[in-house]
Structure 1
Amino acid sequence: MIEMSWPQVSARRLERAGLGAGRPATGTGLATVEGPAEGPVEGPVEGPVEDIVAAMCGAHAQVMSAAEASIGLRADGVTRAHVRAALWGEGRSLVKTHGPRGTVHLLPARDLPMWVSAMSSLPGAHTAAPKSIRMTAEQTDQVVAAIREVLAPAAMTIDELSEAVIAATGPWAGDLVMPAFQGWWPRWRMVMHVAAHRGAFVFGPVRGRKVTYTAAPELAPVTDGLGALVRRYLAAYGPATPDQFAQWAGGPVKWAAQAFSAEELEEVVFEGKRAWVLAGDTEVPADPPRGVRLLPYFDAYVVAGRPRELLYPGAAAARALNGGQAGNFPVLLVDGVVGGVWHQRRSGSKIDITVEPLGDLTAAQLRELDEQVDRVGEVMEGRPRLTIGPVTVGGHA
């Protein structure tokens, strides 16, 4: 059985994520992934932005500026304008919707059928809500059908959508039972992520300062989306276990284990423990990971990166993890592991970037850090200024 060390796996993942020392300049050369309908896809299909997001297995977009930075920092020349054009421009090659763990992500539009097939296969989620306010499976189906129907002709704000869903399903859907932001949301919103996972809607363009929702694009359905997602995930973040895939996707371990068992996988020994890769996909780079990288809030690399104790060694776990959760702090990667945190504050075109390393950086690493700061400025279309010192801002909720 092939054995893999952490430095080998770290270098492999960084290279496939477009974060390695010799990262591609145009989005090509990222992880070879399997498309939802037509077999292997290597390199850009509709352009570098879509290819980067596909290789990431989605870009977390609860904080849109962080999603733009995540994508742009993986390919020279890509800026937030490219991401916005892909998301809202003609053709809409990216979509914004609820992805793994029910959280908001940017996904390639071409992959949406795969994601819908995979995420809709999740068993009914456990909820800690009292039984008296939970929705039945029948009520969930009614809400999903109502969202799909009312959004078909137009985009709606959340208030417009809520009114339409309640009118289509009944007053029970409007009961204010869901705690949210020091207030209460109507019952139907408990399953909004389920509706997205079933392909009932995606996010639409912002109307003023209000988010809108619109019908998902019509694309050919996929039957084996979960298998395709497992292959995509392992290509990017393997070796991995069903438990780790379950944590990343937001599903039960049994569901993940069944998905793994249906694929042609190869068992390896990763740092003394059993893990799996795609059959035959055991190649690792010759050199250990090198380089300095700035990754924003909830970057896909750290959210999917496990084991946590290897990616966040020693003091990094206490400083950059929030109760074991990755992504709440933007992180400084040094030679493949978290070596600090950082924060940016924007005022007009000025971007003040504070980086707090957890150890001394060499002269070469400081030069790389300067380059990364300049690159953040290019991606976010601003004028950056670096300060090395303590980051006083807490983790993002």
Structure 2
Amino acid sequence: MTSTVFFSWDQADARRIRRQFLDRPAEPADSAPSTVAAAMLGAHAQILSAAELSLALRIVGATRADVRAALWQERSLIKTFGPRGTVHLLPAADLALWTGALSALPAGPGGQPGDVRMTAEQTDEVVAAIGDALTGAELTVDELTDAIVERTGPWAGERVMEAFQDKWPRWRQATATAAHRGVLCFGENRGRKVTYTNPGVQPSAGPTALAELVERYLYAYGPATPRHFATWLAAPAGWAGALFASLSGAGRIEEVDLEGESAWVVAGDTEVPAEPVRGVRLLPYFDAFAIASQPRARLFPGRAYERALARGQAGNFPVLLVDGEVAGVWHQRRSGKRVAVTVEPLAPLAAPRLRELEEQAARVGEVLEGVAELTVGPVSVGAHA
């Protein structure tokens, strides 16, 4: 270790909290949902209502309607496949960067059996068919299947993929690949049916995009290690180490000390808030801060590691943050305008913290365009319920 710049965990945590708009929500005049999504490096949207909460909670007075307007009317947000191949809301202005970086990641071994898996040539053919079929159109899965088969042949539509006690057509294994190559994203639902469309984006050059993504990741979640970055992207650790080494050699990132361990920040970005994190926050399922912040054992200290993680995986429980660390779990259930919010702290909360919690629960109700009713007690539902 040659660096003389030292970070404590509290300093690293405070930086991330501030840059995630979790200490002070952004003013509407300064930040749209897309701006906040850019700062977070995307809002996980497998559960769209959770993404709406993630973004709106970080903007003063915002509601889920503001996020929906940004997504479906203004189109400043794009619903697509982001980090780890999972559905995210990403800023439309950053889509060239994201597609350039994600399409340049090392190819994995493939999760399909040999008789189901498509070849590289077949994947290219399907992606080209998807891009052509979705240009200027919003198609359901069934409509897109017909369009792909028409352009490629029956093999692409064979229902051979095991999925949710059903079988999907072969082409669907290329869905995330098509998104990462910039020819597929989600359209607005047609009733209960998902639709896809072509965002019409040209991915940035892979090396350039990856370098910028590392810098954005380190600005949002640094100090961090190559392994942290690899975990966030579900990419090989060795590949991430080589990427960090090349960027360090180019002077774009610098090595620092995070409580005795080597970590990296953007070159020159060593500023830390003057005060440690204070306050209570409620974060929904799969909030970006809970997923991307490392070391995980520091963000989820003590009992939180067992109670608020699912086999070490973050995001499966909505979490209570107290002074920047996970200190409990929570759950919300809506019935009409009533939003029942149950919070299970892992240690008793003093009266001032309980008042903050009441304010946070009320804010959740406001974002969901309802009225929150807070209960402090055990959360009986399981992970991702």
TM-score (norm 2): 0.95
C-alpha distance in structure 1 between counterparts of 2:137 and 2:153, whole Å: 21
TM alignment of 1:191-206, pairs within 5 A: 191-206=174-189
TM alignment of 1:255-266, pairs within 5 A: 255-263=239-247, 264-266=252-254
Map of 2:140 onto structure 1: 157
Q: What is the Cα deviation at residue 27 of structure 1?
A: 7.4
Map of 2:329 onto structure 1: 341
Q: What is the Cα deviation at residue 258 of structure 1?
A: 3.4
Map of 1:388 onto structure 2: 376
Q: What is the Cα deviation at residue 322 of structure 1?
A: 0.5
Cα offsets for 1:346-369 (capped at 9, x unmatched): 011110000000001111111110
C-alpha distance in structure 2 between counterparts of 1:7 and 1:186, whole Å: 49
Map of 1:232 onto structure 2: 216
C-alpha distance in structure 2 between counterparts of 1:189 and 1:265, whole Å: 38
The yes-or-no answer on 1:117 pairing with 2:83 is no
TM alignment of 1:229-308, pairs within 5 A: 229-263=213-247, 264-308=252-296
CA pair 200-168 structure 1, distance change in 2 beyond 3 A: same
Q: What is the Cα deviation at residue 218 of structure 1?
A: 4.1
Greater shift in the superposed pair: 302-311 or 218-227: 218-227
CA contact (8 A) 2:282 2:321 kept: yes
Q: Classify the secondary structure of the residue corresponding to 1:131.
A: coil
Equivalent residue for 2:58, pick from 71, 74, 98: 74
Equivalent residue for 1:367, pick from 333, 336, 355: 355
C-alpha distance in structure 1 between counterparts of 2:319 and 2:94, whole Å: 28
Q: What is the Cα deviation at residue 225 of structure 1?
A: 1.3
CA pair 295-245 structure 1, distance change in 2 beyond 3 A: same
C-alpha distance in structure 2 between counterparts of 1:153 and 1:160, whole Å: 14
Cα offsets for 1:59-105 (capped at 9, x unmatched): 0011011000000111111111110110011x311110000000000
Q: Which amino acid aligns with 1:24?
A: A
Q: What is the Cα deviation at residue 220 of structure 1?
A: 7.9
C-alpha distance in structure 2 between counterparts of 1:153 and 1:76, whole Å: 35
Map of 2:342 onto structure 1: 354
C-alpha distance in structure 2 between counterparts of 1:233 and 1:27, whole Å: 25
C-alpha distance in structure 1 between counterparts of 2:75 and 2:116, whole Å: 38
C-alpha distance in structure 1 between counterparts of 2:106 and 2:121, whole Å: 15
Q: What is the Cα deviation at residue 243 of structure 1?
A: 1.2
CA contact (8 A) 1:133 1:187 kept: yes
CA contact (8 A) 1:140 1:191 kept: yes
CA contact (8 A) 1:239 1:276 kept: yes
CA contact (8 A) 1:346 1:352 kept: yes
C-alpha distance in structure 2 between counterparts of 1:99 and 1:220, whole Å: 13
CA contact (8 A) 1:27 1:75 kept: no
Greater shift in the superposed pair: 255-264 or 3-12: 255-264
Corresponding pairs, count: 377
C-alpha distance in structure 1 between counterparts of 2:84 and 2:204, whole Å: 22
RMSD: 1.5
CA contact (8 A) 1:49 1:86 kept: yes
C-alpha distance in structure 2 between counterparts of 1:297 and 1:220, whole Å: 29
C-alpha distance in structure 1 between counterparts of 2:242 and 2:126, whole Å: 29
Q: Classify the secondary structure of the residue corresponding to 1:114.
A: helix
TM-score (norm 1): 0.92
Q: What is the Cα deviation at residue 219 of structure 1?
A: 5.9
Cα offsets for 1:125-169 (capped at 9, x unmatched): 222432222111111111111100111131100111112112222
Equivalent residue for 1:127, pick from 100, 110, 114: 110
Equivalent residue for 1:26, pick from 19, 25, 28: 28
Q: Which amino acid aligns with 1:107?
A: L
C-alpha distance in structure 2 between counterparts of 1:129 and 1:162, whole Å: 19
CA contact (8 A) 1:18 1:27 kept: no
Map of 2:72 onto structure 1: 88
C-alpha distance in structure 2 between counterparts of 1:296 and 1:27, whole Å: 24
Fraction of identical pairs, as percent? 58
Q: Classify the secondary structure of the residue corresponding to 1:212.
A: strand
Map of 1:327 onto structure 2: 315
Cα offsets for 1:41-61 (capped at 9, x unmatched): xxxxxx521110000000001
CA contact (8 A) 1:303 1:327 kept: yes
CA contact (8 A) 1:340 1:357 kept: yes
CA contact (8 A) 1:102 1:193 kept: yes
Q: Where does structure 1 lack aligned partners over 5 or more consecutive residues? A: 29-46
Q: What is the Cα deviation at residue 335 of structure 1?
A: 0.8
Q: Classify the secondary structure of the residue corresponding to 2:115.
A: helix
Q: What is the Cα deviation at residue 284 of structure 1?
A: 0.9
C-alpha distance in structure 2 between counterparts of 1:392 and 1:220, whole Å: 45
Map of 1:136 onto structure 2: 119
Q: Classify the secondary structure of the residue corresponding to 1:133.
A: coil
TM alignment of 1:303-314, pairs within 5 A: 303-314=291-302
Cα offsets for 1:4-35 (capped at 9, x unmatched): 11111111110110001x4433374xxxxxxx
